[in-house]
Amino acid sequence: MLIVTNPVNIRYFAGVELEAYERFAALIICGAKRAFVVPKLDEGRVPGPVFAYSDGEDPADALRRAAEVCDDREVEVDGSTTLRAWEVIKRALGITAYRIADERINDLRAVKRPEEVERITRAAEIIKKVIAEVYAELSPGVAEREAAASIYLNLIEEGLRPGPILVQFGENTALPHQGPTGRRLREGDVVIIDVTAAYDGYYADITRTFAFRGEPARFREIYEAVSEAQTAAVAAARPGASAGEVDEAARSALRRRGLDRYFVHRTGHGLGLEFHEAPNIAPGESYKLRAGNVFTIEPGVYLQGHFGVRIEDDVVVEGEGARVL
């Protein structure tokens, strides 16, 4: 018996967006059998069988009835189950032994179905369009926050759900996770725009680096090195290769130019219903890539106090290699 309480995992298994906030909600899976436990106010939003409870009633009673659809009494839960939800599960089933199902769930989610790839592809296409449009409108004096707000609004108008948006100018581009500030754009600045957004629930993640009306010393050299590293990583991504091998392909390309010490993060991460999920494209990762894996490839070089360069695209692993979305 698998008890799923994470709204993202519920969306994955049942295709339903369900956020009960502080109330208890769960999807019970036993082979082909499924049942929902939800607050009464969400009863009409999920497919049956549904075991609903009203405010003031103990959701453990509804969960106890729902569990009767299962013959298997061995319990698995997703690892993001809150302590509050776990207390409900314990009251309902009287259990002390259980297994965390994250490895099994993450393994399933890491291999995308064709319709999932299509949604990520659509998100990536729109993000690239928005980045190009907003960059074309930049002018000296605009603040990072103002450009980020413009991107946010454009994504909404295009039908996407925005995730994290990074806009960085000048020396801020050397700080990979620096959020938008009041820093204003000047001619000769390096500009990094990193946009995450979802189409129909599925996230893409794209980063572009520009030199605005002039470029600082070494920019062309660094940009070409990062582009080569990304190309090498894409070429290394194929069924059977390890995630660590893909990371090493990017890292070794920068190492040949003496720049690997400035590459301070992993090469990529999985995409799907969340913008960070399996597989993890990082040093030493043994995960063997399979057709259907979708992840970012985003090498970067960061010269503190000066500028940084990061190029990020999303790829899907197919029969003999990887395709950029």
Instruction: Please report which confidence band the pLDDT of residue 265 belongs to, taking 50, 70 and 90 as the band edges.
Output: very high
Chain segment 42-60, per-residue pLDDT in tens:
999 999 899 999 999 999 9
- For residue 298, the model assigns a pLDDT of 98
- For residue 73, the model assigns a pLDDT of 77
Do residues 80 and 182 both lie within one domain? no
d(CA 18, CA 25): 8
- For residue 280, the model assigns a pLDDT of 98
**For residue 62, what is the domain's CATH number?**
3.40.350.10
For the whole model, what pTM was predicted? Answer: 0.94
Do residues 124 and 258 both lie within one domain? yes
Where would I find the beta strands (DSSP E) of 160-215? 161-169, 190-199, 202-211
pLDDT at 270 over 80: yes
Residue-number span of the structural domain to which 30 is assigned: 2-109
**For residue 305, what is the domain's CATH number?**
3.90.230.10
Q: Output the CA angle 242-246-250, nearest 5 degrees.
A: 160
- For residue 96, the model assigns a pLDDT of 73
Do residues 68 and 171 both lie within one domain? no
The alpha carbon torsion through 16, 20, 23, 29 (nearest 10 deg) reads 20
Of the three residues 64, 80, 109, the one that is the final residue of a domain is 109
* Interval 102-124 mean pLDDT: 97
Q: In terms of pLDDT, which residue wins out, 73 or 150? A: 150
Where would I find the beta strands (DSSP E) of 128-236? 161-169, 190-199, 202-211
Do residues 73 and 219 both lie within one domain? no
Q: Which of 237, 163, 244 is nearest to 207 (CA)?
A: 163
Average pLDDT taken over every residue of the chain:
96
Q: How many domains does the chain have?
A: 2
Do residues 194 and 97 both lie within one domain? no
Element (H, E) at 268: strand 268-270
Helix (H, G, I), strand (E, B) or coil at 127: helix
- For residue 60, the model assigns a pLDDT of 97
pLDDT at 255 over 80: yes
Do residues 95 and 126 both lie within one domain? no
Of the three residues 109, 127, 152, the one that is the final residue of a domain is 109
Do residues 103 and 131 both lie within one domain? no
Do residues 30 and 135 both lie within one domain? no
Do residues 94 and 213 both lie within one domain? no
Do residues 91 and 120 both lie within one domain? no
Chain segment 201-245, per-residue pLDDT in tens:
999 999 999 999 999 999 999 999 999 999 999 999 999 999 999
- For residue 71, the model assigns a pLDDT of 82
Contacts of 31 (CB under 8 A, 6+ apart): 72
- For residue 315, the model assigns a pLDDT of 98
* Interval 165-189 mean pLDDT: 98
Do residues 192 and 256 both lie within one domain? yes
Of the three residues 90, 109, 128, the one that is the final residue of a domain is 109
Exposure of 56 in the CB half-sphere (CA atoms within 13 A):
0
d(CA 286, CA 173): 31
Q: Which of 40, 82, 81, 35 is nearest to 57 (CA)?
A: 40
Distance of CA 6 to the CA centre of its chain: 15
Do residues 65 and 193 both lie within one domain? no
- Cβ burial 36-49 (10 Å sphere, 16+ → b, else e): bbbbeebeeebeee
